[in-house]
Amino acid sequence: MDLSRRGFLQAAALTAAASGLTVACGGSSGSGGTKNGKNLTLWYWGGALSDKVVAEAKTHFASAVTLTTASIGGDFKQKLTTTLAAGTSVPDITGIKGEDIASFLPNASRFLDLNDLGFKKLSSQYLGWKTKLAQTKDGKQIGFPIDIGPTALFYREDFFAKAGVDTDPAKVAALVKTWDDYFQLGTELQKKNPGTYLVNNISSVFNIAVGQGTQRFIDKDNHFIGDQDHIHAAWTTAIRPYTLGIDAKINDQTWNAAVGKNLLTELGAAWHALDIEQAAPQTKGKWRVCANPVGPANQGGSYLALPKQCRNPEEAFKIISWILSPTNDARGFTDAAIFPAAPAAYAMPAMTGPDAFFGGQKIIEVFGPAAKAIPDSYEAPADAAVMAPYMTELTNIEAKGKKPDDAWKDAVSQAKQIARRQGVN
């Protein structure tokens, strides 16, 4: 006891000495650049923006500011949170992932309100539901939408043809208007193509089914609603393919091998096309896309934000609105497969071309309308954390054969606990 106290005093003394040192050194350390706002840093991660557009932004704004960009690998959120918390070496412009944006909203004061800088005038160019997700309740806009992830149904044209199903995207879309239709089609397809499965796992079904609604796990009044009908309905939908035996139950990297082999369809966002293409290049030309059952949901899609410490907000805002202008946003689709949040881009040549991987299908004809049809939903800061147990329990059903009813009870009780921990009532 005596000793730990001594150690503690030592630590305290050293810390005190250290902070004294900083004071003594004045501003010699710190953020590196001068305070005249001529140097701006931009943090993003590989694939978040088109590297070409970013490189052009540097030259385009060279007369006004020097833009330094850093593509950061690994855990981006952890790095950003840490620097924001410490308040030093904060970037002037930063990317924020779509799945993280809600958790940054309670700390909106750490960011500049983009509306003050002129976003209001531009906001009509971007999808309203996406913009709103980066807005606080009192209307502060912290994120400038980069891209979105409208979902659709990817399917294997060859397997469909073998089962005698019309393979035209519009026809398939008509066939799978509801989840029940989709699963029924799946059982038929499986009969004609033995050893194949309709969905890779049931979590992906649940994810989309939840995203199709306007309510998620926590409502605007900060109440837990993860035990209510809309979630239970999504859960029941997700269980169906499992009980029908058309679920491949893949929850690991074997997906990479399976996707070119025995998966009949894939439910996923626009960017998922690239996953499929990279994992199964040999299936080129055999895939098609159509609207997924019921309606589209969103998965992923990021934002740019300006932390409070930004050294030149006006120029920084000019830079991000240039990088994310519909024209440049469309180029992001070509360069990095990021699907623009600006609908005007969907009509641009960069996006309207046929895609050879999908047998020459113009996939924007599926994703464009999907993007606009995504419902306006409220995502609470703790939403991702509260959703996790549902995904876990769905995986438990697949891996351990846990009874779906037990899994539902456990999922709800755990979600409630997490919600309580996160201050949801």
Partner 1 sequence: MTAVDDTTHRAPRARRLRRPKGLTAHIVLMLSVVISIFPFLWTIVMATNTTQDIYKSPPKLTFGSHLLENIRHVLHTIDFFGSMFNTIIVACATTVLVLFVDSLAAFTFAKFDFPGRKVLFGLLLLFMMLPLQLAILPQFILMSKIGWVGMLKALIPPALANAFGIFWLRQYIENGVPDELLDAARIDGAGFFRQYWNIALPMIRPALSFLAIYAFVGAWNDYVWPLVVLTNPAHVTLQVELAQLNVGHTTDYSMVMAGVLMAALPLVVVFAVFARGFIAGATEGAVQGT
Partner 2 sequence: MTSPPVTGPAAVPEHRGGPGPARFRPRRATPAGTARPKRRGLLKYWRQYLAISPFYLIFAAFSFFPVFYSLYLAFQRWDGMGTMQFVGLQQFRFLWDDPVFWLSIRNTLVIWVLSTVPTLLGALVLATLLHSVRRFKGFYRIALYVPNVTSIVAVAIFFGAVFSNNFGLVNAILGTVGISPVPWLSNPWLIKVVIALLMTWMWTGYNMIIYLAGLQAIPTSIYEAAKMDGAGPVRTFFQITVPIMRPIILFTVIISTINGLQSFSEPQVLFASNAANANLGGPGQAGLTTLLYFYQSAFLNNDYGYGAAIVWAFFLLIVVLVVVNWRITTRGRKG
**Which residues lie near partner 1 (CB under 8 A)?**
2-4, 7, 15, 18-19, 21-22, 25, 28-30, 32, 45-47, 68-75, 78-79, 82-83, 85-89, 253, 256-257, 271-272, 274-275, 278-282, 337
The entry of partner 2, partner 1, none near residue 83 (CB within 5 to 8 angstroms by kind) is partner 1
Chain-centroid distance of CA 297 in Å reads: 11
Between CA 231 and CA 245 the distance in angstroms is 23
Q: Please measure the distance between the N-terminal and C-terminal CA atoms of the chain and give it in whole angstroms.
A: 41
Stretch that binds partner 2, among 31-39, 164-172, 322-330, 382-390 (CB under 8 A): 382-390
- Residue 319's φ and ψ, nearest 5 degrees, are -65, -50
Looking at the Cβ atoms of 25 and 62, the one nearer to partner 1 is: 25
84 binds partner 2 per the rule CB under 8 A: yes
- Of residues 137, 400, 405, 425, which one binds partner 2 by CB under 8 A? 400
Q: Please state the closest distance from residue 236 (CB atom) to partner 2, in A.
A: 20
Tokens found for residue 118: 């002129």
Residue in 54, 103, 51 with CA at minimum distance from that of residue 78: 103
Can you say whether the dihedral through the CA atoms of 232, 213, 270, 283 is positive or negative?
positive
Burial of 60 (0-12, 13-18, 19+ CB in 10 A): middle
Q: Which of residues 292-351 bind partner 2 (CB under 8 A)?
A: 299
Question: Which amino acid does the sequence have at 329?
Answer: D
Q: Is 156 helix (H, G, I), strand (E, B) or coil?
A: strand
- Of residues 29, 178, 243, 254, which one binds partner 2 by CB under 8 A? 254
- Of residues 30, 35, 46, 75, which one binds partner 2 by CB under 8 A? 75
Looking at the Cβ atoms of 214 and 278, the one nearer to partner 1 is: 278
Looking at the Cβ atoms of 191 and 421, the one nearer to partner 2 is: 421
Looking at the Cβ atoms of 127 and 276, the one nearer to partner 1 is: 276
Between CA 291 and CA 289 the distance in angstroms is 7
222 binds partner 2 per the rule CB under 8 A: no
Looking at the Cβ atoms of 153 and 270, the one nearer to partner 1 is: 270
Stretch that binds partner 2, among 63-71, 162-170, 359-367, 376-384 (CB under 8 A): 376-384
How many residues contact partner 2, by CB under 8 A?
54
Q: In sequence order, what DSSP letters do the residues of 119-143 get, joined into one string?
A: HHHHGGGS-HHHHHTTB-TT--B--
Stretch that binds partner 2, among 11-19, 60-68, 220-228, 355-363 (CB under 8 A): 11-19
Q: Is there a contact between 315 and 65 (Cβ–Cβ < 8 Å)?
A: yes
Between CA 53 and CA 297 the distance in angstroms is 28
Stretch that binds partner 2, among 19-27, 132-140, 345-353, 383-391 (CB under 8 A): 383-391
Chain-centroid distance of CA 22 in Å reads: 40
